[in-house]
Amino acid sequence: QVQLVESGGGLVQPGGSLRLSCATSGLTLDSYVIGWFRQAPGKEREGVSCIKPSVDHTYYSDSVKGRFTISRDNAKNTVYLQMNSLKPEDTAVYYCAAGRKLYYTTSYSCRSYGVMDYWGKGTLVTASS
């Protein structure tokens, strides 16, 4: 049974940093695309960053490029999202997701959240003074 558990969210001042963790079980990272998505109140869910560990491909949305970094630790079956220079508009619930359809590109998987197969319950990130 695949499970994804997010942690690391919280309240941070604008300009601050947080690191989110996605602890996975029931899967092998190299057999999936793993992604971070977020949803702010009243807005659609959007792909933030994804990684295809088998080929080490990554994708970042334009809104976070240069500020966020996705990484993974295969030994711990965990994927991380380092978020720097946080802005108020980064405030959202952040979800970790895993997709088995490796024939899609990493960018497509991130821009089309419907292709992901498993989801965590989310962790709230609030960037506010």
Task: Express each pLDDT in 42-94 by its tens digit.
Answer: 999 999 999 999 899 999 999 999 999 999 999 999 999 999 999 999 999 99
Give the pLDDT of residue 80: 98
Average pLDDT value for residue range 18-25: 98
Give the pLDDT of residue 10: 97
Per the DSSP assignment, residues forming a β-bridge with 96 are 36
Give the pLDDT of residue 21: 98
**Residue 18 clears pLDDT 90, i.e. is over it:** yes
Give the pLDDT of residue 113: 84
Give the pLDDT of residue 38: 98
Average pLDDT value for residue range 96-111: 93
Give the pLDDT of residue 114: 87
**What's the length of the chain?**
129
Give the pLDDT of residue 39: 97
Q: Shortest CA distance to 37 belongs to which of 14, 12, 59?
A: 59
- Spatial separation of the C-alpha atoms in residues 97 and 79, rounded to whole Å: 10
Q: Is 68 exposed, middle or buried (0-12, 13-18, 19+ CB in 10 A)?
A: buried
